[in-house]
Amino acid sequence: MSSQVRLRLLPSDICLYDEPIQVKMSHLRSRQVVTIKASSTDEKGVLFSSSATYRADGNGDIDLVRDASLSGSYVGVEPMGLLRTLKPNTLNTLFMKEKALEPHMVKFSVHDEEQDQILAEVTNERLLMADGVSRVSVKEGSFHGVLFTPPGTGPFPAVLDLSTIMSERRAALLANKGFVVLTLPVFQEKLGNLKMLHLDPFEEAIIFLLQQPKVGSKRIGIIARSKAADVALSLAAFVPGVEAVVWINGCSANTAFPLFYKKRQILPALKVDTKKFIPTQSGAVIAKYAMDDPLKEENRATVIPIEQANTNFLFVASEDDLNWDCNIYKMEMEERLKRHGKKNFESMCYPRAGHMLEPPYTPFCPSSVNMFVKMQIMWGGEPRAHAAAEVHLWKKIQEFLRSHVSCDPVQLTDLN
């Protein structure tokens, strides 16, 4: 490596996962063209990488906040482009970073391709947990999950984070913002053994969460995406204690499995017709139009009666979601609530975003395995617009939860 060239990450090499960094180079030759590379290995051992070519200014400096990429994984000015465009070395692979105790490590390097030389290297350590946030594995009654609690005495608002598979990432990041967060997988047992889904374990989780000593809210907020989002709606409709729901790219009906509560079925399942899948050249399929129509007479019993919920809703829909037509489901719910004289909802719509809306600066995933149909599914989204939607939505989620999941007295703390 060159002893002269300097590669810096500002304000620090260590930051939180959802924080942007400024990548700067200095002591290059005037107008020198270099390639900047980023690489990271996920929890499954899959290597993700990206690169972009830049030209230094007359002083030999490059600043990714100011300067445009000439070619590579992206073109133009995009300060966090190297993280957004990290791609796996295998097709149809989702970036796995779900364990909160382990940081997301990204190696940056500057290359002189003509000389086949590495000029400088630095590693960005992206933490999922801020200083003082506690993480405790929980197994109580019929549920298991992980509880994240901010430092300080509180009181703090309580949030239940539901995910299709166990994931700690979003929950830990919300705890950094001053929420007590319990994250649960929707499926508490192996999917292959599952014939039905019960709301009772989630009710137990809500009671457990509200009993935490630092929790000051009388009711909880729930955040969920995809299948987990319809579970969140059902909790709001049938189970007491739900103050607010952030529904992200879900369905307005109960999907996949019949839903039970207190030993009786409350909703049948809306099904998918795999014959309506559209194949693509990548080997993944488009499933957007394969779900049965919940508004057809034979399927109306699957629709979740959110109009009976005393809950505030934030409906978030990506128009380019190729997993299913979540925007249609969002509009149906809006119209239904209006017909019942309800004004307890807000809506966000992202025109060129796809299904997999994650916390900011997560590598974009165009396709991966759908656990329900066990096939490679296209998730949709134009990568740059999708990344911008994630940044915008992350702020909106925090504002919504702070606004509606209140404490008495109010003391909402952002650890940043």
Active site residues: 226, 321, 355
Interatomic CA distance for residues 379 and 364, integer angstroms: 10
Radius of gyration of the chain (CA): 23
Indicate the helix (H) or strand (E) that contains 205: helix 200-210
Residue 194 CA to residue 208 CA, distance in Å, equals: 25
- Longest Cα–Cα distance of the chain, Å, equals 73
Residue 385 Cα to chain centre, angstroms = 15
Strands lying side by side in the sheet with 278-279: 278-279, 285-286, 375-378, 367-370
- How far is the C-alpha of 330 from the C-alpha of 216, rounded, in Å? 31
CA-to-CA distance for 387 and 383, rounded, in angstroms? 6
Q: How are the residues of the chain apportioned to helix, strand and coil, as percentages rounded to the nearest 5?
A: 20, 35, 45
d(CA 227, CA 240): 21
Q: How do strand 117-127 and strand 14-16 relate by DSSP bridges?
A: parallel
Cα(134)–Cα(214) distance, integer angstroms: 12
Spell out the long-range contacts of 89-93 with Cβ–Cβ below 8 A and sequence spacing 24 or more. Answer: 89/46, 89/47, 89/48, 89/49, 90/46, 91/282, 91/283, 91/367, 92/282, 92/283, 92/284, 92/367, 92/368, 92/369, 92/376, 93/46, 93/365, 93/368
